[in-house]
Homo-oligomer: A and B are copies of this chain.
Amino acid sequence: AGRGAQQAARVCHPPGAVLDESTGKVLVVQDRNKTINAWKFPGGLSNPGEDIGDTAVREVFEETGIKSEFKSILSIRQQHQHPGAFGQSDMYIICRLQPSSFSISFCQQECLRCEWMDLEELVRTKNSTPITSNVAKLLLYGYREGFDKIDITMREFPAVYTGLFYKLYHRELPESYRNIT
């Protein structure tokens, strides 16, 4: 979002599904300058090298003015530009975020509309992208039956050779397995 011309060629990506658990509403936007005004999750141009959660939180804030906290990874999206062509695809991460502010102030350059929409309405609307609709269904499943059903959560590990560290995202591992030695 708003990082200038050198990234103009890149597409706009949807990293942040921000759900207000107290109301069941989710933050959605419509892009400016698109022929189809489909509702989607906010996000912008993301740096593949950036911390996953930090990117999503920053992008959502820049695009909508909503502050949020990273909760989990919901989905990994891979876009194939030429079906079957070796090496022609991009990968993006869709995160689940919890809002800590609720007053929308959206980026007029990027967005045509931005609102808090009932999650069930987003699930049912024809006016969204297939990806948005699917992630909305996933989010509704988690909202109703527990986020542990949908979350890909994070653990941190030291790297062996280098003194660096890793973040590893995967399904929750039960205590009994985590503690095997």
Identify the A interface with B (CB < 8 A): 34-36, 38, 47-52, 54, 73-81, 83, 86-91, 93, 123-124, 129-131, 134-135, 137-138, 140-141, 149-152, 155, 157-161, 164-171, 173-174, 177-178, 180-181
Contact = CB atoms under 8 A, between A and B. Distances in A.
A123 B164 CA distance: 22
A85 to B, nearest CB: 9
Contacts of A170: 74-76, 135, 138, 150, 152
B79 A164 contact: yes
Most central of A74, A161, A177, A181 by chain B CB within 10 Å: A177
Given A36-B161, A129-B160, A180-B123, A80 B138 contact: no
Contact of A138 (B49, B81, B173): B173
A5 B166 CA distance: 26
Contact of A77 (B88, B166, B171, B181): B166
A70 B138 CA distance: 23
A11 B30 CA distance: 40
A48 B91 contact: yes
Contact of A155 (B51, B73, B134, B164): B134
